[in-house]
Structure 1
Amino acid sequence: MSLSLDSRRRVEGYAFLLAFTLCVPLANWMIHHIGVVCPPGGPCLIPVAPGLMAPSAVLMAGLALVLRDLVQRRLGVSWSVVAIVLGGVLSWWVAPPALVFASVCAFLFSELADLLVYTPLQRRRLVLAVVASSVVGLFVDTVIFLSLAFGGLDYMWGQIVGKSWMVLLAIPIIAWLRRRDDALGMQPA
């Protein structure tokens, strides 16, 4: 039995929503457990380019920006806002106490910035919408998080590069998804 296009769109949307939601606790766990260097009292760091390190959570933060776009594409703006609020609540629950405020603020503002850029672009130019909105979101996330969590922008370029890697890795998948949607006649929500 095959799913109708509407059912398929919703099932994929809920899968993207689940993946997006899981990025939040995973990022908060990674920042203190995964890295090639984990200085006491600081974030665990990973290399993101030659000579450039970033807190390991950047990988999940970059992925979350792309997944939020896909939640909106499959389930609509309302579900995307629900996902952002849910992610903010999860961030508040799972972030280390010292990082709760920074994590929640950075998450909420970056995802809302992503939504505002993505929404007008996505119907005609999906890949451009995902890239442009993610770039805006990753800059907002980086500046807010680092400023509030660590009082400076020491890891700014590492964070931007690390999040950008996740966006770049997603581009072929987004392009394939757009081609598949067009071939099936599946419209965005």
Structure 2
Amino acid sequence: MSVLPAPGRWWPPLSVTGVLATGFYLTAVAGANWASAHHLITLDGLAVPAGACIAGMVFIARDALHETLGSRGVLAAIGGGTALSAIVASPWIAAASAAAFAVSELADSWLYRRWRSRGRAAAITGSNLAGLLVDSAVFVSFAFGSWALLPGQLAGKAAATAVACPVLALWSWRREVAS
């Protein structure tokens, strides 16, 4: 007996790509929160929470989830990521992550759906930029009680997102061509 509802009106059919995207998303969320709780990187005087370098990948994985499993799949993955974070990170980091995801996902999902008609690249780029800014501001203020790490958080997430965005854009383009 499956834990998930049957594919159809309320849940899209599962695919290998959707399962892989979910696994990558959950791993990235848990890894980012664990790293944020345990490591700080200093780059030329800029303090970067180590999790920021991984967290940028979370936005890319989330966009892949949107494409394969839809909004409900993304919400289910956020719930799973929050649960994993509570296990691997400190309570402050896990709570900050949950709050940041809740706020940034609303902004990101709304923008992604709005900009999707302009093409996947526009939707991915615009929604990720908005999500990155909102998520970073909420996460840093709750997790660390200070804005001091915000510049490093933004730099780390931006770098990780810049590396991953072309990969997702290529995957999306190939998916569009194939369908």
TM-score interval, smaller chain: 0.7 to 0.9
Cα distance, 1:46 vs structure 2? 4.3
1:133 aligns with 2:138: no
TM-score, normalised to structure 1's length? 0.79
Larger displacement relative to structure 2 (164-173 or 15-24): 164-173
Give the SS at the match of 2:114.
helix
Runs of 4+ in 1 over 3 A off after TM superposition: none
- Summarize the Cα distance change of 1:46–1:122 in structure 2 as closer, same or farther, 3 Å threshold: farther
Corresponding residue of 2:15: 10
Corresponding residue of 1:162: 156
**Preserved CA contact (<8 Å) 2:60 2:165:** no
List alignment gaps of at least 5 residues for structure 1.
Answer: 1-7, 35-43
Report Cα offsets for 1:37-89 as digits up to 9, x if no partner: xxxxxxx2243xx4423100002211101110110101112111111222222
Corresponding residue of 1:57: 51
Query: How well do the aligned residues superpose, as a CA RMSD in angstroms?
Result: 2.1
- Summarize the Cα distance change of 1:24–1:179 in structure 2 as closer, same or farther, 3 Å threshold: closer
Q: Given the alignment, which residue of 29, 41, 44 partners 1:45? A: 41
Provide the identity percentage. Answer: 32
Alpha-carbon separation, structure 2, partners of 1:167 and 1:125:
18
Alpha-carbon separation, structure 1, partners of 2:177 and 2:148:
46
Cα distance, 1:183 vs structure 2? 2.2
State how many pairs are aligned: 167
- Which amino acid letter does the alignment assign opposite residue 46 of structure 2? L
Cα distance, 1:9 vs structure 2? 7.9
Corresponding residue of 2:106: 112
Cα distance, 1:104 vs structure 2? 1.9
Corresponding residue of 2:146: 152
Corresponding residue of 1:74: 68
Alpha-carbon separation, structure 1, partners of 2:145 and 2:37:
18
Alpha-carbon separation, structure 2, partners of 1:117 and 1:46:
33
- Which amino acid letter does the alignment assign opposite residue 24 of structure 2? A
Q: Given the alignment, which residue of 89, 92, 95 partners 2:89? A: 95
Name the structure where helix makes up a greater proportion of residues. Answer: 2
**Preserved CA contact (<8 Å) 1:85 1:108:** no
**Preserved CA contact (<8 Å) 1:142 1:156:** yes
